Amino acid sequence: MSQAMKLILIFVVALLASLCSLAQPPALDTVANSFTKNFLFFPVVVKSPETKWGAGYATSYFFKTKIKDTLTRTSNIESIGLVTLRRQLVLMLGINLYSPGEKYIFRMRNSFSKFPDKYWGIGDRSPRMAMEQYTFSQFFTNPQLLRRVYSKFYLGLMWEFQIIYNMYYQPNQLFDRTISTGKEGGLSSGGGLVAAWDTRNNAFSPDKGEFVQFSILKFARYSGSEFKFVNTVIDARKYYKVGRKQVIAFQAFGYFTDGNPPFRYLATFGGSDIMRGYYSGRYRDNNYIAVQAEYRFPIVWRLGMVVFAGVGDVSSKPFVYRFNPLKYSVGTGIRLALKPHEKLNFRIDFGWGHHSYASYVTITEAF
């Protein structure tokens, strides 16, 4: 086992072992009953332009960190494993913990992927016909610990750790000619601050409230990073309940890098969550902004539908965007409630963009 993989294994085990400190340990029989009731395991079929068709499993465990606490949102631990027709392997472990009274919030995303991917170049006008394939393996984690300081306002610390290795691309072609930093892989490690305002009534599919999060991370030699850069992310969401079960949701998103970020830390335009209809990475650059809106409404039984629209762009400078061509996203989708009480949905989305189309089959709402 390589030194990097040993480090990954030690880190994941240590983090999982530390989670117990945020919860109050209930009796063993209560744990058994709760686990049986709140644990979901099911086979999944997914589809996206990045993966084509894929199959695997998904698990999710819902629980309260304090028994019979109706004021604290439900915590969950989720896991997904997928293999795809493009010979991709994706493993993900996600954790969202709300301590009793929501004094503390702990979030973490861990993922491992072996991923043949596509590349069109850098900038907002990369031509469609210039697509080139490359392959990489990646491990990623980003633990966050936030403490409530006033009402629903939280401050905390965040760390991101990413290893890219087994990079393969065609020499002397587009990828080799246009990428200088990180094209052979490498380690990115950075820490920083995160601030959040969170009044959502549900973490999976809220129908009221708002969420605003700002994070700034510095990647430097002293934190173990091979690259020096600063990454800033702003994510703002607002939810309105219309009638009994209809929801209008808005999101504004900004991703900004300063310095010399490696290739895999450049902003990637598109994907299953925002600017649906574009391959994730169809456009890449140092900076990215996007806004979207979604209307969600029930149909019958556990079925619902959504319609959405958005616009965005990438740029080499943080406040200069040409929107030429106009990169829009419009689409519709179907929802099936897997666990209605927790509002966990299976979703199918169809998105259209500028000379682009994509469909998605996945779990949880886009935002």
Mean pLDDT of the chain: 89
Could you tell me the two tokens for 41? 């395991």
Distance CA 352, CA 358 (A): 7
Higher per-residue confidence, 285 vs 44: 285
pLDDT of residue 18: 42
Q: Distances in Å between the alpha carbon of 329 and those of 187, 233, 309, 357? A: 33, 21, 5, 9
pLDDT at 176 over 90: yes
Region 177-185: mean pLDDT is 93
* Predicted confidence (pLDDT) per residue in 297-354, tens digit: 999 999 999 999 999 999 999 989 999 899 999 999 999 998 888 788 999 999 999 9
* Predicted confidence (pLDDT) per residue in 9-48, tens digit: 444 444 444 444 444 444 444 444 555 578 888 888 888 8
Taking the CB of residue 100, how many other CB atoms lie within 10 A of it? 16
Q: What does the domain layout of the chain look like in residue ranges?
A: 3-363
Counting residues of the chain whose pLDDT is more than 90, the rounded percentage is 73
* Predicted confidence (pLDDT) per residue in 95-148, tens digit: 999 999 999 999 999 999 998 999 999 999 999 888 999 999 999 999 999 999
pLDDT at 1 over 50: no
Higher per-residue confidence, 27 vs 180: 180
pLDDT of residue 33: 52
pLDDT at 285 over 90: yes
pLDDT of residue 70: 77
Q: Do residues 182 and 264 touch, judged by C-beta distance below 8 A?
A: yes
Tokens 């009221």 -> residue: 208
- What CATH architecture applies to the domain 3-363? Beta Barrel (2.40)
pLDDT of residue 46: 85
Q: In one letter, which amino acid is 313?
A: D
Taking the CB of residue 143, how many other CB atoms lie within 10 A of it? 18
Residue ranges in 162-292 assigned as alpha helix (H): 174-178
pLDDT of residue 21: 42
Query: CA 176 from chain center: how many Å?
Result: 28
Higher per-residue confidence, 364 vs 112: 112
- DSSP, collapsed to helix, strand or coil, labels residue 143 as coil
Could you tell me the two tokens for 116? 């043949």
Region 169-173: mean pLDDT is 94
